[in-house]
Structures are given as C-alpha cells and as structure tokens.
Structure 1
C-alpha cells in the first residue's frame, strides 16, 4: 500500500531553512516507492520558504493533500478570533480570505504540473475556544457555504478534526467537537448536494480524550456517519517525554518489530494502529498516512527519512 506522508513535519526545514539539505531530503523521499504523496502545509502561500524551490523539487507523480493547520495556528497567534467557526465576524472573514489564498496556491501547483495534483484540502474549525473567544456550528455552516461555492480545481474539502475544547483541560487546539463538525458537514452536504468529508489525526484524538480510546471512538464516529475520508497517524504520550505530555508534537510510534527509529513511551503502538484500522474500511478511504516530528530536532537527512520509513513499516504490517 502507498501512503500520504506529512513530510514537512520531519523535514530539515523544521530546524532551519537549508536549500541543499531540503533538496537532499526530497530526493530521498522521491526514491520511496510506498509514498503516494505528501501532506503539504499551507501558511498563506504555496511554500513557507520558496515557491520556486518547491515546484522544482517535488515529484510530479505525487498526490498532494494540503493542510491549513500551520497557517491557521500562525494566524491565531496574532488574532485569537481567527477561524471559519468564529462568532467574531472579522475573525471569520479573515479565515475566509485565508482559504481563498489556499485555493490560489492549489491552482498554482496544478498549473505547474499540468493536472489536478491536489486531491484534498484540509480545513480546520478554529478559533480556540476560551473565555474571550468562541465558535459555533452556525458560523461554520455559513463559512462552508461560501468556501464550497468556489472552484477548488479538483481538490476535495475535508474538515480535519483537532482536539476539541474540553472544560478544565488545557487544549492544544481547542476547536469544535467532532460531533459538531460531523453534524455541520452532514447538514451542508444535504443542503448543497455535495460530498464533503472529515479526517482523523490519531495523535490529536488521543490528546483530546487523554486516551488511546479517543482515536478509535473518533474513527468509528466518522466512519459510521459515512464521512470518514482519511486517517493520519501521529503519536502522542501522557508521559513527560521530549515530545511533551499530551502535546501535538507528531510523536513517532513506539518500538515494534525491528524498526530502527521510534519514541519511548509513545502511545502509537502497532497494536493501537491495528485496533484503529479495524473500525473502518481501509480500502475505501481516500488516504491513510503518517506525520511525525523529531525531538530533539538534530537528525541527519537519512535518519529523518528512516523515521518515516519506520512508521510506514508499521502501517504496512497493521494493514496486512
């Protein structure tokens, strides 16, 4: 099986931008025959550092899944009301404009490759809910009506669920609940006769529920609602680790078999991957993949790629 890889989270550029190191990293990624494509971060322009470099170094055969979460979090750092679910109209409109920019970035990439290379655009239900900021299903519904009216040049829209706001729990994202997201997407699909879906990130669901049962619950919920389109496996831990305790740090998986790279105390075990995949039909998902970061972030290019290969090895074994 081939996978979507959140390669940006493991890249040398997460430490510092070095064009030569990044090119070497992409060359090694292109040599992996089990990578279907990459999850690509949208931060307000096509590439965080250099659009031309990106276009020159990608594999034209790759499938691209855009994720808005890096750009959403960057915007929230400056404007806590930012988000498509925001009840603050200025914050909601700022998010609408952000996704308009994402649409243009997709057009630029597709034009360069001469095809619809971007299969999905992941959107997120910001803002972080707090005493000063709030969101609603109605605001999300209004935003989706606008966003879905645009030409996305072949990309399907998904809501990627992040950890929801839980009272008296410190959030990583603190966005809308999966129940609210599913309810809104179901309503908008009926109203507009469209086929929007949702995706689940294993680590973020574990962080929300403080449990390995969270990802299973969320996968089942999305699958039973007929909205589950993809799963990305990132780890998390309830222990005090270099990756933090219940932090959205894309922790590598736990040790299993003979994989050379893993993270101690990661809750993302081969057993949990298997249990998660038992609650959906893998063959009918649009994508399955993984995304990991490194802490400390000091690995060589080859070691970074080996971390990715280690996770994909576990996915292979779990699926088979």
Structure 2
C-alpha cells in the first residue's frame, strides 16, 4: 500500500521560505517508498511561494490531492463571511472565485506532469458559524456551480472540519457532518443518473476528535459517512486534551503516540496505534479501497531537523503498513 502525506505541515519552512531547505526536505521525502504523494496546500496559486520551484522538485511519480483549508483560513481572516457554505452572497462568490483558481491549478499541475496527477481536491464548508451565517443550502448551490467546471478527473471531496458547537470554542466551526452528508448524498443521486464521479467526504481524525472533545468523534463520523455511502478517505492527524507544545484540543496536526520503541511520536497524543487501527477496521479499508488514506503531521519544536521530520511521517505510515500485513 501507499499513502498521501500532508508534507506541508511538517515542512522545515515554519516561518518564511527557503527553497534550499525545502529541496532537502523533498529529497528525503522521496525516499519513503510507501508514499503515494502529497496532500498539497492551495492558497490561491499552485504553490504558496514558488510555482516553478514546485514543478521542478515534485517527484513526477507522486499523485496529489489539493487541500483548500490553508487558503480558506487566510481568506476568513480578511472576510469572516468567506466560504462555499456562506449565506452571505458576496462571501460565497468570493469562495467560488477561489475554488475556480484551484481548478486552474489542477490543470497546470497535470499539464506539467503530463498526466492526471491530481486525484482529488479537499474542500471545506466555511465560514465559522459562530461568527457568520452558513447553511447546507448555500453549500449545495456552490457545489452545483463547481461541478460544472473541468476538474480533469479529480474527485471533489469535503474534508470535515470541527463543526460549530454551541458553548464550545471552535477551531474551524464549519457545517455539521450531518449537513455535509445530506448535501453530498442528494447531489450524488443526480451525478449517478448522469454517470458522473460521485462526491465524497474525508474524515480528519484530529478535527473530528476536536469537535467531539473525545476519541469517539472520529469513530462516529467514519460510521455516519460509511453508512451514507460517501466515505472517501481518512487522514490521520492527532490532538491532545492535555497541555503540550501542540495545545489543548488544538488543530495542530499532532503526531500519533506510537507503541514501538525507537519510533518518532508524541506521548500526549490521543491518536494511538490502537485508535488508528480501530478507524481502519471500521472503514473496512482492506475492502473499501478508499481513494484517500494518509497522515498530516505538524512537528514541534520548530528547530526539529529534517531527518527527524521525515522520520515522524515514516513511522506514522508504518502503522498503516502494519494494518495491511
């Protein structure tokens, strides 16, 4: 098996941009033989700093899925009404303009690599409902517009982020998974009639745990998505209920706590090997052949060496490999 890695989260370029440093990091990532490719951040252009550098340094055999969350959070900082689920028409249309740029970036990367390299695009159902109005209706309207564009075979998937919960401080505060599933299910009926690729949902372990304030959150969300026939993948990021460099219930992509001696992990993480296995078993990944499966890890402290940053990813991927043995 091979997996996606959200490599941008563990990049040594924590602040600023050093292309020499990033090249060294990419060169070491290329030694991970079970790495399918990148979960790649979209912020409005193909690469956050240098499109040409990215096209020159990406492994031509890697597959890619874009994640729009970094660009979305930047945009929300400028306009709290920004988002494809926004009930504010200006904010919703701004988000669609952003998504159109993502579609263009998909075409640019595919053209450069000479193949359909982009397998999926992860979208998120902004805005934060604690400060702006959002709805399933607005999300459906936006998705219908996006489905009319040429994504060159890339599957559109919603990455579920922590939903707005009354009385609880949100990291993202987006739509509920129930609303997201309902919109996807309704649209998939129409897509099936037209023999078009279905929409799906990706569960990020850490973000579901943050929403529920419990390790039960990812299990519940995987179950609901699976039962509705829209589960497209799982990305493993951790979280903690205790104070650490990663914060308390903070969306910092904490590495998992690993059992094996000599491996790189974080002992305070609620994401354990047992919890990863529980999610994989529930999703029945050996039979389901999920399109998206992988890890996205933030690394602390910022001074962590490149070999250690790659080792965190290597050891987390090894957990997935052990499940498939």
What is the TM-score of this pair, normalised by structure 2?
Answer: 0.96
Select 1:209's aligned residue among 212, 219, 224.
Answer: 212
User: Could you say which residue in structure 1 is the equivalent of 2:296?
Assistant: 291
Shift of 1:12: 1.3
Quote the Cα distance in structure 2 between the aligned partners of 1:148 and 1:311.
34
Q: Secondary structure at the match of 1:231?
A: strand
User: Could you say which residue in structure 2 is the equivalent of 1:164?
Assistant: 163
User: Could you say which residue in structure 2 is the equivalent of 1:199?
Assistant: 202
Shift of 1:318: 3.1
Question: Once the two structures are superposed, what CA deviation does each residue of 1:250-292 show, in whole Å capped at 9, x if it has no partner?
Answer: 0011131124311121001011011111111213211210000
Matching of residues 1-320 of structure 1 within 5 Å: 1-130=1-130, 132-193=131-192, 194=196, 195-283=198-286, 284-320=289-325
Kindly indicate whether the alpha-carbon contact (under 8 Å) linking 1:12 and 1:21 is maintained by their aligned counterparts in 2: yes
Quote the Cα distance in structure 1 between the aligned partners of 2:156 and 2:28.
29
Question: Once the two structures are superposed, what CA deviation does each residue of 1:70-115 show, in whole Å capped at 9, x if it has no partner?
Answer: 0000000000000000000000000000000000011110000011
CA-atom RMSD in angstroms: 1.0
Kindly indicate whether the alpha-carbon contact (under 8 Å) linking 1:7 and 1:38 is maintained by their aligned counterparts in 2: yes
Name the stretch that deviates more: 74-83 or 251-260. 251-260
Quote the Cα distance in structure 1 between the aligned partners of 2:13 and 2:268.
26
Quote the Cα distance in structure 2 between the aligned partners of 1:66 and 1:152.
12
Kindly indicate whether the alpha-carbon contact (under 8 Å) linking 1:202 and 1:231 is maintained by their aligned counterparts in 2: yes
Q: Secondary structure at the match of 1:13?
A: coil
Q: Secondary structure at the match of 1:40?
A: strand
Quote the Cα distance in structure 2 between the aligned partners of 1:258 and 1:155.
39
Question: What runs of 5+ residues in structure 1 fail to find an aligned partner?
Answer: none
Shift of 1:206: 0.3
Shift of 1:172: 0.3
Question: What runs of 5+ residues in structure 2 fail to find an aligned partner?
Answer: none
Quote the Cα distance in structure 2 between the aligned partners of 1:82 and 1:309.
36
Quote the Cα distance in structure 2 between the aligned partners of 1:230 and 1:35.
16
Quote the Cα distance in structure 1 between the aligned partners of 2:301 and 2:168.
26
Q: Number of aligned pairs?
A: 319
Kindly indicate whether the alpha-carbon contact (under 8 Å) linking 2:125 and 2:175 is maintained by their aligned counterparts in 1: yes
Quote the Cα distance in structure 1 between the aligned partners of 2:265 and 2:165.
30
Question: Once the two structures are superposed, what CA deviation does each residue of 1:140-167 show, in whole Å capped at 9, x if it has no partner?
Answer: 0100100011100121100110000000
Q: Secondary structure at the match of 1:65?
A: strand
Kindly indicate whether the alpha-carbon contact (under 8 Å) linking 2:202 and 2:292 is maintained by their aligned counterparts in 1: no
